[in-house]
Amino acid sequence: MKSIGSFAIYTSLYISLVGAALSFVAGRTGSRRFIKASRFAVYATYGSVAVAGSILLYALLTHDFSIQYVASVSDKSMPFFYLVGAFWGGQAGSLLFWVTIVGLFTSLATYVNRNRHQDFMPWVQFTCLLVMMGLLLILAFVTNPFEGFTFANTPTDGEGLNPLLQTPKMVLHPPALLTGLATMTVPFGFAMAALFTGNFSSQWVKAARKWILVPWLFLSVGNILGGMWAYEELGWGGYWAWDPVENAAFMPWLLATALIHSLMIQERRGMLKRWNVGLMIGTYLLTVFGTYITRSGLIESVHTFAQSDVGNYFLAFLLTATAISVGMFIYRWSDMEGEETLDSVASRESAFMLNNWVFVAMTVVVLFGTMWPKVKTWLTGQEVSIGPPWFNRWMIPLGIVLLLLMGVGTIIAWRKATLRNLKRDFIKPLIFTVLGTPAIGAAYWFLRGQDLGADPTTLSLVYAGLTLAGCIFVVTSMFQEFWRGARARVTGHDENVFEALFHLFRKQRRRYGGYVVHLGVICMFLAFSGNAFKLEKDVSLERGESVQLGDYNLTYKGLSEENVPGKTLYKAHMDVTHDGEPAYTMYPGKAVFAATPQMPTSEIDIKSGPLEDVYTALVNFDERGNRAAFKIFVNPFTWWFWMGGVVLVLGSMIAMWPTRESLESLSTPMRFGRLGAAGGLILVCLSPMVVWQVESDTKWGSAERWSHVEVTSEADAPDTTSKEPTIGPKPPS
């Protein structure tokens, strides 16, 4: 199997090289024969890579420990779900997965456009095949996933997957994120095709429009799912810590979001040609840059791979891609003159441009904060650290500005807004905002905030108030648009309101799907505002001792232990009362894996609701469970972050769903194929949300199950006067 897998990688490398040459000739000559041959090369490259991926997956499922990669990321005790996740759990496997996704989506783009955009497609294929060739060179000669052991030292069992990765979310988060980064190659290919051909009309924009939505959607799901993992597994009470690798995945998302908005202006007005091509190049280069810092050991993070020579090769790949793309961009600069200019500052085009500048500014802030500590060390030898407070100092104001621009861009007129337009469009949202912000803020404070005992600072209150105002403004602006569109159909088509809304979404999916995406973002901003009222406490409790946090009282009742296949679970039992009334029992704990007893993982217990989450993490405990240390949080509105993710995915699918007109123009097999692809994309994007809910319900089993597990008897415990737990989880027997 090792030989076949390696041969498949070498074959893919050879075919990609030949295919790139064929695509280049096809682009230069327009020869149909070379165009067909280059298409076949794309399909064949993907086929060879898929064979290699299938072999590696089979080796993982069958425990073929003669392959070093299989032995390093799996063991015989791992269930099927995690064996599949081990495919991308290490450096070589994740890179093979990346190449496979690039090949898959390049093949899809080639097939879908086999009869369209014939001047562009050879150059798209040329770009994508060059990207695949660069990655395959690294796979073949630097980090081959099929490298084996000598016969004498082949292990009988593997080392196992990192315990932190053995959760359903981490089986889904990496492939979602990797798919988002990998599929960015296709829209980058269209931008490079525009540069190679010198054709900067809206043709490349229309061709690339949906291909940019795919990586944006996968990056969105991947980042949200990564936040879920951090929130539920790491025990620090948050879902975004501005970790360098988190930032590496966030920066391409920021620029891709800006690009989606600015492409609308070029498609509608013929403006921003240079800006859009530059944004696309920058977005793709950031995906490669993020991969480089993740795999090079340049930065330290819980997400990074071990330092290896592969980072040098990715740096070479990044520099080569930068030189070619930026060189072509400079060469074609004079050909990218816009067809029209901005008519007025008071226009939707202007709002979108400001929106773009804010996204770029946020990207620059994140890039600077991520890399400056390393640059500072290089320049002066002095080590510095940039943490969440620095990022929040800059990103929160920029985020509030972005939120307000979201509302302005929804309702302001195209080209030029007159005073009459401004009065008609803005007066109602502004009234709702001015009246609703203090009313809703005061209602929350008197009904819930003061009961929590939160003591927010003046600045955090200002930010929370501005965020609330922005949310109200955007929501009322969008509902005003919904109402106007529905009312027009009710009067003109004899429909009721629900029928009118259905037809609005059906006929203008991009527009109204975008509004739904914005509603998802509003939910996330609401979650951000809750950080102003966040409560947290680090506490050490003896059995029977209680702690008060807000109007919640948590009492430590003792510790229980259960042996399950491959690991031992240690559970703290905590009875929770709310306003003096019994509420529920929580079971924060630790898991100690048999393969890696030195790496216990946290098992967080969270009671989540629309108003707040109660979050408990077991930090440490003594051997008898007489005393345990906890981190306890009350996190207002965090539930809305996950709900926002669901709404965002829903809106994206509405915008991407094929229209009836586009389906009617296709043959029956193609029609069902496109519907099947869209439906499959929905399942893929929504599956993380389903897994999150299922896992939340089943992580520890039912409360009844744990209520019958015997708590360590206090009478059996030795006398101790220690005020802190001194012994961590004992290894499983």
The domain locations on the chain are 1-155, 533-638+697-714
pLDDT of 305 over the 60 cut:
no
Give the whole-angstrom CA distance, residue 92 versus residue 454.
Answer: 48
The predicted structure's pLDDT at residue 28: 93
Per-residue pLDDT averaged across 293-313, rounded?
A: 66
The predicted structure's pLDDT at residue 109: 93
pLDDT tier at 611, thresholds 50, 70, 90: very high
The predicted structure's pLDDT at residue 677: 56
Lowest mean pLDDT among 40-44, 294-298, 359-363, 693-697: 693-697
pLDDT over 90, % of the chain? 48
The predicted structure's pLDDT at residue 725: 44
CA nearest to 265, candidates 400, 274, 453: 274
For the entire predicted model, the pTM comes to 0.89
- Bridge partner list, 670: none
pLDDT of 634 over the 50 cut:
yes
Segment 689-709, tens digit of pLDDT: 555 554 544 444 444 444 434
**CATH classification for the domain delimited by 1-155, as one of 3.90.550, 2.30.30, 1.10.860, 1.20.120:** 1.20.120
The predicted structure's pLDDT at residue 713: 40
Q: What is the dihedral of CA 26, 28, 29, 33, to 10 degrees?
A: 0
Segment 56-105, tens digit of pLDDT: 999 999 998 889 999 888 888 888 888 888 898 888 999 999 999 999 99
Give 95-139 as a DSSP string.
HHHHHHHHHHHHHHHHHHTTTS-TTTHHHHHHHHHHHHHHHHHHH
Helix (H, G, I), strand (E, B) or coil at 2: helix
Instruction: Enumerate the H helices of 381-457 as residue ranges.
Output: 388-411, 419-444, 450-452
Instruction: Enumerate the H helices of 445-588 as residue ranges.
Output: 450-452, 458-493, 497-507, 509-529
Give the whole-angstrom CA distance, residue 67 versus residue 154.
Answer: 8
pLDDT tier at 152, thresholds 50, 70, 90: low
Per-residue pLDDT averaged across 294-310, rounded?
A: 62
pLDDT of 493 over the 70 cut:
yes
Per-residue pLDDT averaged across 134-156, rounded?
A: 84
Element (H, E) at 205: helix 202-233
pLDDT of 661 over the 70 cut:
no
- Bridge partner list, 601: 591
pLDDT tier at 209, thresholds 50, 70, 90: confident
More confident site: 669 or 612: 612
Hey, what are 38's tokens?
């280059």
pLDDT of 38 over the 70 cut:
yes
Hey, what are 11's tokens?
């074959």
Provide the mean pLDDT of the chain. Answer: 85
The helix/strand count (H/E) of the chain reads as 23, 10
CA nearest to 61, candidates 49, 47, 79: 79
The predicted structure's pLDDT at residue 708: 38
Per-residue pLDDT averaged across 584-601, rounded?
A: 85
pLDDT over 70, % of the chain? 87
Per-residue pLDDT averaged across 260-289, rounded?
A: 91
More confident site: 661 or 281: 281
Distances (CA, A) of 714 to 224, 377, 560, 575: 42, 52, 12, 17
358-364 long-range contacts, CB within 8 A, separation 24+: 358/398, 358/401, 358/402, 358/405, 359/254, 359/255, 359/257, 359/258, 359/402, 360/254, 360/255, 360/258, 361/398, 362/254, 362/395, 362/398, 362/399, 362/402, 363/251, 363/254, 363/255, 363/286
pLDDT tier at 298, thresholds 50, 70, 90: low
The predicted structure's pLDDT at residue 676: 58
The predicted structure's pLDDT at residue 508: 84
Which regions of 127-191 does DSSP assign to beta strands (E)?
none
Instruction: Provide the 8-state DSSP code for 589.
Output: E
Please enumerate in sequence order all residues whose Cβ is within 8 A of that of 608, keeping only pairs 6 or more positions apart, or say none.
Answer: 638, 639, 696
- Bridge partner list, 631: 538, 617
**Is residue 315 a contact partner of residue 296, using CB atoms and an 8 Å limit?**
yes
Hey, what are 417's tokens?
């807004």
Environment class of residue 490 by beta-carbon count within 10 Å: exposed (0-12), middle (13-18) or buried (19+)?
A: middle
Give 295-345 as a DSSP string.
HHSSS--TTPPPP-THHHHHHHHHHHHHHHHHHHHHHTGGGG--SS----S
